[in-house]
Structure 1
Amino acid sequence: MSTETPWPDRFGDSLMKSMGAPLGLLARGEGCYVWDESGKQYLDFLAGIAVNSLGHAHPAFVEAVSRQAATLAHVSNYFTTAPQLALAERLKRITGAGAEGRVYFGNSGAEANEAAFKLARLNRAGGNRHRVLALHDSFHGRTMGALALTGKPSLRDAFEPMPSGVEHIDSTIEALERSIDGSVSALIVEPIKGEAGVVDLPDGFLVRARELTAEHGVLLILDEIQTGAGRTGTWFAYEQFGILPDAVTMAKGMGGGFPIGALVTFGWASELFQRGMHGSTFGGNPLATATADAVLGEIEAAGLLQNAALRGEQLRQIIRDIGSPHVAEVRGRGLLVGVGLTTPVAGAVAAAALAAGLIVNAANDSSIRIAPPLIVGDAELALFAERFRGALDAVPAS
């Protein structure tokens, strides 16, 4: 097909129909900004859905990819490499898994959660544990196991029957106390429900979940694919609740734009997987692990955990100070922010923002999701305030 054909037609003719129509064709990025094919600049406050933790074309990212690609990009899992070992050791340190921790590498968040689902199935206690608990309105991925864990029937219905054994419960302490007993193998939870519109769990929920799972020998698995890698102002959101899980899944921001996912296990959970039970051709290859190690190293060296905490508070206050009648509440932690709207106009607000040169996301009809790069500073926050205020003002109040 000729390249003179408009790109929307080329997309429609070539990409799977499961993909929605793109909002534009982006050509390049730098820092917190991207440019489309016409040269229009956008302030990127979505960061590839919490992926581009260092922004676009960061020197640490570019150098790591270039250096590793020039030496060794991939080997089979019959071998290990120095980048794989270095990243695994870093993840054990920053998660708090310690010496007993173990790391499994995959290529995405969904793959990390597939591994977590298999881990849950291994905690059977003689076959008596057959239930896996997850939350209503949660999101854990679109592969079949991860989709079974996802608490959104609209995403699952076309693919039923799902893998068995998963039960979805309300996000309340009362539901935890009713549901967790010796028949449960695992509870998997997002510390903040990102795809639901950045929805915080009730006060005390994670602490009580840790108490109940420990009491009954249940694995507590935390899905930190969207909240991890410094996004909420600490390496992982669970640190802010004073708990450690039995396993944590991660992806997105840890690679800074390079596809990678991981499952890290703690303590006794590290003994469940045995040789031959799981694997991945590309998982843990030197190109991915070298890049992720460099990204996490830069987050640490540049003080971006602290920046995420500081800028996140500033960002939430900016949104409150706008005083728009559209804004009902501001949610989230660090640089993962949800704006709850008074009416279902999120799509219109996101479209108005895009027209004004600001990328945010309508997570659902009444929620805007905001997740800028962790490098965001005063200039970007000031520009966001101007453009987001304009987007809210452009949508008529009902």
Structure 2
Amino acid sequence: MSLLHLDELSPTSGDGPSGVPELAAAVREGRLSAATVAERLLATPGDAVPVGAGLVVDPAPLRAAAAALDRRTDRFALPLAGVPVVVEDGISVAGRGDEIVRRLRAAGALVAGRARTAEHEVGLDATPGGRATATVVASGVVPLGIGVDGDGTLRCAAAAHGIAALKPGRRVLPLPDAAERRWCGLAEPTLLAGRAEDLTAVSRAFARHRRAARAVVGAAAHHPRRHRPRSGRGARLPLAASLRTGRTRLAGPDSASAVHAAIRLLQDAGLGLVAADPPYRAVLVVHSAAAVRPGSPAGPRTRPDPAERRAARSLVRRGRRVRRLGGLRPATPASWRQRMVAWLDDAGAEAGLLPAPPGASGAGSTGVAAWNLAGLPSLVAPVHRPGEHGCVQLVGRPGSERRLLATAALLAGE
């Protein structure tokens, strides 16, 4: 039986990331071996990943994991069989690794390498958002990435590259051991892929894990509802659309254009939309106190964009100010959660359609960081527009990750 090549499975004919469902199906059915996936990844030319993206691949563990996967008798049942995933610095892959890595491996995914990401939006090559994970996934070399999103930096980086990023609701996926301490409970593991369909496949794989399923069901069951509109069986409630990225700030021209394009696509698909601005106010997000360091010993030292440097310094100052005041009050996240859910209730909407400001300028902005503070699902989704790319942010109630992904598929024309 002849084996397929990765580019034969790519839905974008080699110009984008290989589709996660197609790749996993080929490995499960024996049309493609995990060893072949690993070897083709190791044979990727060096210029396929942008300079400074920080992708580090250790060949020996990758080959060993691929060989072990090919020997597994239950390979036909693994939802992510043979799918390479790049893991961001801060998530342990050594030994058994952090819980999120163990779940990926249990689903059949191959840890392809690590993405070295600089602090506070200043990347090794001054890429938008400074998150190497988004850069690697956008290059198409690895179809799936996972990192930790503390204030929207990872989602804003995904928006800058035109790829999808899902930050689930609070505690749906387990945090790495160090993230809870570093981000004071405001961070969540975030999945990145080229298409919403890829994230749907990963979400289904995690839902098979009993603890992940209980987290989604439990969050929805304990969700405080004020006067959530009732709908008939099968009815779809409208989406609340807004162009605001803060209490007084509107989206930039590119982000606003993506929202308008998304509105047209959703209306064509038969979904209703209502205009409703979220009740934003100033958000002080907790950050680590580390200084901004452009470049690192692992890569070339470059001169970042001055705007990114100013944005990073501003975030550090805000985080220090919060810590001097004693950090966030324990009731603050719950208060924001109720505030944002009440907004959806008042609008009679199931989810929100909001701008996704790209790059370092959007990271930490109220319209992105508020959803970390509230602990509600947030999905950055590409919007199909011929000749250009753009992303929007879809936000929803606890347990609405799959609904958001289904809406994102409409935006991508899938």
Q: Comparing both chains, which one has the higher relative contact order based on Cα–Cα distances under 8 Å and sequence gaps of 6 or more?
A: 1
TM surpasses 0.5? no
Structure with the higher fraction of residues in strand conformation: 1
TM-score (norm 2): 0.28
TM-score (norm 1): 0.28
